[in-house]
Amino acid sequence: MPQVTLTVNGTTHTAEVEGRTLLVELLRETLRLTGTHVGCDTSQCGACVVHIDGESVKSCTTLALQANGASVTTIEGLASADGKLHPMQEAFREYHALQCGFCTPGMVMSAIDLVQKNPQGLSEHEIREGLEGNICRCTGYHNIVKAIAAAADVMHGKRAEIAPAMA
């Protein structure tokens, strides 16, 4: 079987995979990083989104071999070594932007890429359009949109900390 070597959350791994093995299968089954989820089989729901070399990618539609030599970040790799959450994680908690938690890892990974790609800032409408590739069945997106806006302010240096949600 072919070999794939990739860096995941800062650690380099080499694994034997089948040609048809998906990146999400490598992450979940071989590396046991089960924070990345599979919610569909048609590349619609976005629960599987990870970053490959800083870009958000649906890992259910990426062959493991395509990630050879790449640096992959999953939800497990977002917080800093001292446990401090990424501003997007912090904002999701502050704004109650998750309920069952299943879409959350992919939603957070997509949201980070969306904010990073838009340093000029995002309107609510643009955030909603930017989430086109991620489905949440629990929240109605209302709080996800608010969380992303709040995280963007911190990620772009406009605020030091996540703005508190109104009680």
Partner 1 sequence: MNAIAPFEGIGASVKRKEDLRFLSGRGRYTDDMNRPGQTHAVFLRSPHPHARIDAVDSAAARAMPGVVAIFTGADIKASGIGGLPCGWGVKNKDGTPMAEPAHPVLAHERVRHVGDPVAMVIAETRAQAKDAAEAIMVSYTPLGSVATVTAAVAPGATEVHEGVAANTSFDWHIGDKAITDAAFAGAAHTVSFDLVNNRLVPNAMEPRAAIGEFDPTNDEYTLYTTSQNPHVIRLLMGAFVLNIPESRLRVVAPDVGGGFGSKIFHYAEEAAVTWAAPRVKRPVKWTCDRTEAFISDAHGRDHVSHAELALDKDGKFLGLRVQTLANMGAYLSTFAPAVPTYLYATLLAGCYATPTIYAEVKGVFTNTVAVDAYRGAGRPEATFLIERLVDVAAKATGIDRIELRRRNFIPADAFPYQTPVALEYDSGDYQSTLDMALAASDWAGFEARRSAAAAKGKLRGIGISTYVEACGIAPSHVVGQLGARAGLYEVANIRVHPTGSITVFTGTHSHGQGHETTFAQLIADRMGVPMNQIDVVHGDTSRIPFGMGTYGSRSLAVGGSAMVKAMDKIVLKGRKIAAHLLEASLEDIEFEGGKFRVAGTDREKTLTEISLAAYVPHNYPIDELEPGLEETAFYDPKNFTYPAGAHVCEVEIDPATGQTEVIAFTAVDDVGRVINPMIVEGQVQGGVAQGIGQALLEHAVYDAEGQLLSGSLMDYTMPRADDLPNVAVSHHTTLCTHNPLGVKGCGEVGAIGSPPAVINAVVDALRDYDVTHINMPATPPKLWGIINAARPALAAE
Interacting residue ranges for partner 1, rule: CB under 8 A? 18, 20, 28-29, 33-42, 44-45, 47, 74-76, 78-79, 85, 89, 92-94, 96, 98-105, 108, 124-125, 127-129, 131-132, 134-145, 165, 167
Residues in contact with 116: Cβ distance below 8 Å, sequence separation at least 6, in sequence order: 54, 155
Of the pair 67, 151, the CB lying nearest partner 1 is at 151
Residues in contact with 132: Cβ distance below 8 Å, sequence separation at least 6, in sequence order: none
Of the pair 54, 101, the CB lying nearest partner 1 is at 101
| Cα-Cα end-to-end distance for the chain | 55
CB of 142 to partner 1, least distance (A): 5
Of the pair 69, 121, the CB lying nearest partner 1 is at 121
Q: What's the CA gap between 150 and 89, in Å, rounded?
A: 11
CB of 95 to partner 1, least distance (A): 9
CB of 15 to partner 1, least distance (A): 15
CB of 128 to partner 1, least distance (A): 4
Of the pair 69, 123, the CB lying nearest partner 1 is at 123
Q: What's the CA gap between 135 and 42, in Å, rounded?
A: 12
Of the pair 75, 154, the CB lying nearest partner 1 is at 75
CB of 157 to partner 1, least distance (A): 22
> Which DSSP string do the residues of 30-82 spell out, in sequence order?
IS--TTS----SSS-S-TTEEEETTEEEEGGGSBGGGGTT-EEE-GGGSS-TT
